[in-house]
């Protein structure tokens, strides 16, 4: 396991599931936005991205157009948020990054992968690339009730 954790709320999880179902049997992809505090990332929003890979390979590959990424990143950062990770789906494959994913990942982001079978979302897991890029390590994923992540932060600071 990686030392970090990622926190998603139920609404965000539902949005990832419905995106993954709607693009089945092709991979979906998108950005997860939110905050990084120490070793914990809290996802507060998603931004769907187009799978820009060539159509015949989209059942097992995704790529995000660099211009679309830059445009989204500027907009997200102008709102005071940041990109904490990227989610994508694996139609008929486990919720585990492929070697292709590993070759195209950045060590600072979280990579959430959702397995989809017959258009139904199954397992979901989050992964972080080791600094030396040698492998992906799974990180803890916590699912909290919708909109409760802000509440719990407030309660802790009281
Ligand atoms: Zn993948």
What is the distance in A from the centroid of ligand 1 to the CA of 47? 18
pLDDT at residue number 155: 43
- Close Cβ partners of 68 (under 8 Å, ≥ 6 residues apart): 49, 50, 52
- Domain spans, the chain: 5-39+50-125
DSSP H or E run through 87 = strand 82-91
Dist. CA 78 → ligand 1 center (Å): 29
**How far is ligand 1, taken at its centre, from the CA of residue 154, in Å?**
36
Q: Please write the tens of the pLDDT for every residue from 30-41.
A: 999 999 999 999
Query: What does the pLDDT read at residue 147?
Result: 64
Distance separating alpha carbons of residues 57 and 69, to the nearest angstrom:
20
How high is the pLDDT of residue 156?
Answer: 42
Q: Which of 88, 130, 87, 125 is nearest to 108 (CA)?
A: 130
Looking at residue 24, its pLDDT comes to 98
Cβ–Cβ < 8 Å for 142, 7: yes
> How far is Cα of residue 77 from the mean position of the Cα atoms in its chain?
17
Distance from Cα 61 to the centre of ligand 1, integer Å: 6
Q: Around Cβ 135, how many Cβ atoms within 10 Å? A: 10
CATH topology of domain 5-39+50-125: Cytidine Deaminase; domain 2 (3.40.140)
CA 151 to centroid of ligand 1, rounded, Å: 33
Q: For the chain, list residues with pLDDT below 50.
A: 149, 151-158
How confident is the model at residue 146, as a pLDDT? 81
CA–CA gap between residue 158 and residue 146 (Å, rounded): 21
3 state SS of 116: strand
- Model pLDDT, residue 153: 45
């Amino acid at each position: 396991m990686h030392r970090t954790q990622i926190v998603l709320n139920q609404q965000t999880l539902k949005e990832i599931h419905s995106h993954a179902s709607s693009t089945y049997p092709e991979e979906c992809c998108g950005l997860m936005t939110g905050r990084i505090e120490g070793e914990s990332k809290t996802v507060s929003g998603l931004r769907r991205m187009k799978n820009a890979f060539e159509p015949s390979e989209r059942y097992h590959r995704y790529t995000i157009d660099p211009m679309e990424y830059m445009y989204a990143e500027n907009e997200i950062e102008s709102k005071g948020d940041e990109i904490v990770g990227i989610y994508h789906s694996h139609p008929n494959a486990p919720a585990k990054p492929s070697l292709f994913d590993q070759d195209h990942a950045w060590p600072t982001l979280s990579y959430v992968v959702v397995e989809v079978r017959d258009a139904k979302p199954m397992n979901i897991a989050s992964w972080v690339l080791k600094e030396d890029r040698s492998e992906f390590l799974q990180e803890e994923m916590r699912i909290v009730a919708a909109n409760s992540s802000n509440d719990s932060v407030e309660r802790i600071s009281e």
